[in-house]
Structure 1
Amino acid sequence: MTAARPPLPLAVTMGEPAGVGGELALMAWAARRDAGVPPFVMIDDPARLTWLAGQIGIDVPVRPVDSPEEAVALFGHALPVLPLTLPAAVVPGRPDPANGPAVIAAIDRAVDLVRSRRAAAVVTNPIQKSSLYAAGFRHPGHTEYLAHLAGMSDEPVMMLATADLRVVPVTIHVSLRDALDQLSADAIVHCGRVTAAALARDFGIDSPRLAVAALNPHAGEDGAMGREEIDVIAPAIAALRADGIDATGPRPADTLFHAAARTRYDAVLCMYHDQALIPLKTVDFDTGVNVTLGLPFIRTSPDHGTATDIAGTGRANPSSLMAALRMADTMAARRYGAP
């Protein structure tokens, strides 16, 4: 661990301007004392946030700042915002590709601030991928773009985390049929190594315990219900154990997520998207956090989308964003030292 870091805010991106990200940030600031929300600085259009606060009926003074260093002292009295002008007027619920470059610029600015140690971590509000694609965005999503900004050759790893459960899907946003084709021992080993390193460095777990889920019912019944456990998953577990990582499995997924089982591991490697996200969102729907592991900086995000159907109504729940802010702050304290 390095020397104690100076007090730094979290850098929060605007996300899709026509989505709920702005109002979630306003709500998080308003709840900062009761909910233990750490100081953050928004990268957004101050005029938009001021209008939005009035639209949803919440009293939040919005203050433009010239640098993130101003944000910590100001945060107790107003929401600090690093100004970023939106080229097109924002209508809640109606994304406009003309604002796509500003959405991307907010991500770029946040990453630059964190990499130059002027902010503690990146917290991203949800983006509307279809709108960004229409604006010429060439990356599948946030995670891939962040890896591009970091100049990474290895794939980062997605973890979804709550207070009671951490899950890592080995294959992510692909069909179940494609997930079967993409699943490999190498992919499982990569996810396991990155997850174990992150749990030790950023979550304070000295000897992480990884449970590895089976793919097939009953862990394949010795090959009777599929050979993936024998041919793919077991060799990956053996490789992780050879690295000194406490990995166990393949474990039948239907008995892996109940309360007693969750006491026996620190994270689960899951073979496909819904195997990971269904139990996580069942255990704790409101406060799940998306954490990108393997980046040279900390990034968290709410575990939900842009919710354009309720944008601008004040009905959005800020719990996931607040959890993402708290988790990012705790991770930064462990990685860099407490301020």
Structure 2
Amino acid sequence: MTRYSAPGKLYLAGEHAVVTPGQPALLMAVDRLMHVDVTEVTTREAGAWGSVHSTHYADPLRWGTNDDGEIHFADSEAERMPDLVSETLVRTAELARARNRAPRALDLTIASELVDAHGTKFGLGSSGAVTVALVQALAQAWGLELSDEERYRVALLITLRFSPRASGGDLATSTLGGWVRYVAPDREELATMLTERGLVATLEADWSGLELTRLPVPRSVQWVVGWTGSPADTDTLVAEQRYDAASREQFLTESRAAVDDLTRAVERDDAEAILQAYAASRDALLGYDARGGGGIETMKLRKLREIAENEGAIAKPSGAGGGDCGVVMCERHRELHRMKSEWHKADITELSLSAYLQEESR
């Protein structure tokens, strides 16, 4: 058995803006992982079946390859109604065949650290992490060498079938690890290209605007993550946004400036500048939320932020908001025991998370 893993993610700045092509965001890969265990099937004869074991399935998903290396499924519903896992199998096999590799059936087991004991998601990008880990696992098993950027590209093209508004920031971060500056390509353009030209041509095309940059993890600041206990639906939150054009443009300008400043500050590991830029990102997001009538910062996220601010720290929602997590940032040596105690009283759970580097996920 061989294990492949990909980390979850947290947005630090630029969320909501990053869905617009050309807008930057800054994210952090976290040390909770999605795992894919790969076991060779007992026979490689034609017609051999592989399986996918996951809590997502009541029974294992049975799959195999035909003489041409194309994926097929034992359950006809999986053929008619593909999900993220089955689509990843099909698309990665398509790429393997295009590069003269022979896909074969495998037994796959998916296990997640990105949920609680009851299976509730923390908002750490589990869908993105499983896609990245599964692409890597299949590519390695089938002798398909992919660069980091290729792995991200394959994962994004798969994801767009199910979440056309997805920015891909989670995929970029699960791929690169550490702290990541990300600018999304135009996904509508990619979707059109995928339909008209196919997977391989789209994968190899110029993705204008794409930026994938791994940043050094700063040592001069600390971060603490609080979970509200309320999962958020990113696609729904993004789709339901109703802001006028002027408000949106103001937000994009403010968010870009904050992320650019934060990027430069992180590269210098300048604590004062990092915190100043992080506060500017918070102000841009909360101003945008207020002009749109609220919904990003829930009452519990506001409580999380206010408790942190009482201790001299800076906090903001991470990701789409409407639930999930808030991230607190402050100087490395600031004491936060009282903040954590007040969080506990407010039914806010501290998640013990550290930055996760790419080398650790191999």
TM bracket (short chain): 0.3 to 0.5
The TM-score, its normalising length taken from structure 1, stands at 0.34
Structure showing the higher strand proportion among its residues: 2
The TM-score, its normalising length taken from structure 2, stands at 0.32
- Using CA pairs under 8 Å that are at least 6 residues apart, name the structure with larger relative contact order, 1 or 2: 1
